[in-house]
């Protein structure tokens, strides 16, 4: 193993530990981790064929897929590695090319609760392209993963050059979010009623 490969391997091992640490309330620290994570796992530009297989990009023309693929980066994430953690700055969305990802959330005592395991060209974290803010959940690679990432910054730049393709993706993201809310209405109803009663 070359010296550079050895150092990169050590850096990745260190960031795995850092990303697993509690970072809530430490905005500058989470920004640093996000930037470092992007640097260590940036691999190459993605194949538009993968986007075509993702439901979020259904109905896009070949030209539209090609346009969006130009701002999409492929990342290799080892099993057990947090892709992002709760309260981290939300700066990109992901599409699973290969592998499985667990989504979880912490309760008031800091205990993790699994929400779901996703795979097979599913997208996650897509709201970050629209509203940014902080991550509401933690995403962890269950197995070795190949992911496609679209950053909020690159998407904002593309809006000026290719507004039609970007608008179409934004509409799809909002529609997808609305569908998820609709599917959870039975769980949300008691929460809303309790807030009204207070």
Which of 26-40, 115-129, 166-180 comes out lowest in average pLDDT?
26-40
* % the chain with pLDDT above 70: 69
Q: What is the mean pLDDT of residues 69-77?
A: 93
Q: Is pLDDT above 80 for 7?
A: no
Question: Which tens digits make up the pLDDT trace of 94-112?
Answer: 999 999 999 999 988 888 8
- As given in the structure block, the two tokens for residue 33 are 């981790």
Per-domain residue ranges of the chain: 3-197
Query: 3-197 sits in which CATH class?
Result: mainly beta
More confident residue, 90 or 192: 90
Question: Which tens digits make up the pLDDT trace of 118-127?
Answer: 998 999 999 9
Q: What angle do CA 55, 79, 155 make, to 5 degrees?
A: 40
- As given in the structure block, the two tokens for residue 74 are 């492929």
């Amino acid at each position: 193993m070359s010296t550079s490969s050895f150092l990169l391997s050590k850096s990745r091992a260190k960031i795995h530990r850092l990303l697993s640490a509690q970072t809530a309330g430490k905005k500058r620290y989470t920004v640093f981790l996000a930037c470092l994570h992007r640097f260590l796992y940036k691999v190459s530009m993605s194949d538009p064929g993968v986007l075509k297989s993702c439901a979020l990009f259904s109905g896009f023309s070949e030209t539209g897929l090609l346009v969006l693929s130009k701002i999409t980066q492929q990342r290799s994430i080892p099993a057990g590695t947090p892709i992002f953690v709760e309260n981290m700055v939300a700066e990109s969305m992901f599409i699973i090319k290969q592998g499985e990802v667990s989504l979880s959330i912490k309760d008031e005592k800091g205990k993790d609760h699994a929400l779901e395991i996703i795979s097979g060209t599913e997208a996650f974290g897509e709201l970050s392209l629209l509203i940014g803010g902080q991550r509401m959940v933690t995403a962890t690679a269950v197995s070795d993963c190949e992911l496609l990432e679209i950053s909020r910054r690159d998407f904002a730049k593309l809006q000026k050059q290719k507004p039609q393709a970007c608008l179409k993706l934004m509409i799809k993201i909002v529609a997808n979010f609305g569908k998820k809310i609709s599917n959870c209405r039975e769980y949300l109803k008691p929460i809303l009623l309790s807030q009204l009663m207070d």
